[in-house]
Chains A and B, each alone.
Chain A
Amino acid sequence: MTIETTRRNLLKGVAATGTALFIGYNTNGILNHTIANAAENLDVTSFNPFVKIASDGTVTVIIKHFEMGQGTTTGLTTLVAEELDANWENIKIEFAPSDNEKYKNLAFGAQGTGGSTAIANSFIQYRTAGAAVRTLLIEAASKKWSISSKEISIENGLIKAGNKSAHFGEVIKEAAALPLPEKPNLKTPDQFKLIGKANMPRKDNVDKTDGTAMFAMDVKVPNMVYAVILRSPRFGGTLVSFQTDEAKRVKGFIDAKPMPSKDGIAVYASSTWAAISAKRVIEAKWDYSKAENRSTKQIADAHLEVLKKTPNFQTRKGGDFEKTKQAISTSAKKVEAEFTLPYLAHAPMEPLNCVIEPHSDGGITLHDGCQFPGIVHPTLAKIIGLKPEQVKIKTYYAGGSFGRRATAKSDYAVEAAFAFKLFGGKKAVKLVWTREDDLAGGYYRPMAAHRVEIGLSDKGEISAWNHHIVTQSIIKGTPFEGALVKDGVDHTSVEGVADAEYEIPGFSVGLTDWTSKIPVLWWRSVGHSHSAYVKEVSMDLAAKAAGKDPVQFRLNYLKSDNKDQKRLAGVIKLAAKKADWEKPLPKGWARGIAAHKSFSTYVAEVVEISSTDGNIKIERVVCAVDCGLAVNPDVIKAQMEGGIGFGLGAIMRNQITLAEGEVEQANFPDYEPLRINDIGKIEVHITPSVEAPTGVGEPGVPPAGPALANAIMALKGTPLLTLPLNENGVDFA
Chain B
Amino acid sequence: MPVTLNINGEDKKVDVAEDTPLLWVIRDELNLTGTKFGCGVASCGACTVHINGKPVRSCQTNIQDVEKSKITTIEGLSGKTSKAVQDAWRELNVVQCGYCQSGQIMSAVGLLSKNPKPTDQEIDTAMQGNACRCATYQRIRAAIHLAATKLEA
Contacts and interface: CB of A to CB of B under 8 A. Distances in A.
Size bin of chain B's contact surface: 35 or more
B93 A209 contact: no
A566 interface: no
Which has the most chain B C-beta neighbours within 10 Å: A199, A210, A250? Answer: A210
Given A211-B102, A638-B136, A217 B36 contact: yes
A435 B17 contact: no
A213 interface: yes
Contact of B33 (A217, A250, A277): A217
Given A276-B40, A399-B99, A668 B93 contact: no
A675 B21 CA distance: 25
A675 B135 CA distance: 8
A634 B20 CA distance: 42
Contacts of B73: 211
B56 interface: no
Nearest to B136: A642
Interface in A606-659: 634-635, 638, 641-642, 644-646, 649
A681 interface: yes
Given A68-B97, A211-B75, A667 B41 contact: yes
B75 A210 contact: yes
Interface string B71-82: 001110100000
B62 interface: no
* Chain B at the A interface: SS class: loop
Interface string A375-407: 000000000000000000000011111100000
Contacts of B134: 69, 349, 400, 642, 645-646
A350 B95 CA distance: 14
B124 interface: yes
Contacts of A218: 27, 33
A634 B134 CA distance: 15
A398 B97 CA distance: 7
A67 B95 CA distance: 12
Contact of A676 (B44, B89, B96, B130): B130
Contact of A435 (B27, B34, B40, B125): B40
Nearest to B85: A209
A505 interface: no
B112 interface: no
B17 A252 contact: yes
* Chain A at the B interface: SS class: loop
Contacts of B99: 215, 348-350, 397, 399-400
Nearest to A74: B93
Nearest to A634: B93
B37 A272 contact: yes
Which has the most chain A C-beta neighbours within 10 Å: B36, B37, B90, B136? Answer: B37
Contacts of A398: 97
A641 B36 contact: no
Contact of A209 (B21, B101, B135): B101
B127 interface: yes
Contact of A205 (B39, B95, B125, B140): B95
B19 A277 contact: yes
B100 interface: yes
B38 A351 contact: yes
B108 to A, nearest CB: 11
A529 to B, nearest CB: 15
Contacts of A68: 97
A205 B93 contact: yes
B93 A667 contact: no
Contacts of A207: 98
Nearest to A398: B97
Contacts of B97: 67-69, 348-350, 397-401
A212 B75 CA distance: 8
A271 B28 contact: yes
Which has the most chain A C-beta neighbours within 10 Å: B46, B73, B86, B98? Answer: B98
Contacts, number: 189
B131 A675 contact: yes
Interface string A196-225: 000101101111111111110110100000
A680 to B, nearest CB: 8
Interface string A491-532: 000000000000000000000000000000000000000000
A229 B124 CA distance: 37
Contacts of B148: none
A196 to B, nearest CB: 16
B146 interface: no
B95 A676 contact: no
Interface string B130-147: 111111111111000000
Interface string A659-696: 00000000111000111110101100000000000000
Interface residues of A, number: 66
B139 A668 contact: no
Interface string A308-352: 000000000000000000000000000000000000000111110
Nearest to A348: B133
Given A211-B102, A277-B19, A400-B97, A677 B38 contact: no
A371 interface: no
A681 B138 contact: yes
A679 B73 CA distance: 29
A68 B98 CA distance: 8
B123 interface: yes
A209 B88 CA distance: 10
A95 interface: no
Given A209-B105, A273-B21, A638 B93 contact: yes
Given A634-B93, A641-B139, A209 B86 contact: yes
Given A675-B128, A676-B123, A682-B138, A272 B36 contact: no
Contacts of A211: 32-35, 73-75, 102
A668 B39 contact: yes
B42 to A, nearest CB: 10
A218 B32 CA distance: 9
Which has the most chain A C-beta neighbours within 10 Å: B19, B28, B29? Answer: B28
A457 interface: no
Contact of A673 (B77, B89, B93, B133): B133
B132 A349 contact: yes
A638 B89 CA distance: 13
B63 to A, nearest CB: 11
A70 interface: yes
7 contacts: A69-B97, A205-B89, A209-B101, A215-B36, A215-B99, A350-B38, A645-B137
Interface of A: 67-71, 199, 201-202, 204-215, 217-218, 220, 226, 250-252, 271-274, 276-277, 347-351, 397-402, 434-435, 634-635, 638, 641-642, 644-646, 649, 667-669, 673-677, 679, 681-682
Given A69-B97, A272-B24, 10 more contacts: A208-B98, A210-B86, A211-B73, A273-B24, A347-B133, A397-B98, A398-B97, A642-B135, A668-B44, A676-B141
Which 8 interchain pairs have the tightest Cβ spacing? A211-B34, A645-B135, A399-B99, A69-B97, A208-B98, A69-B96, A211-B74, A218-B33
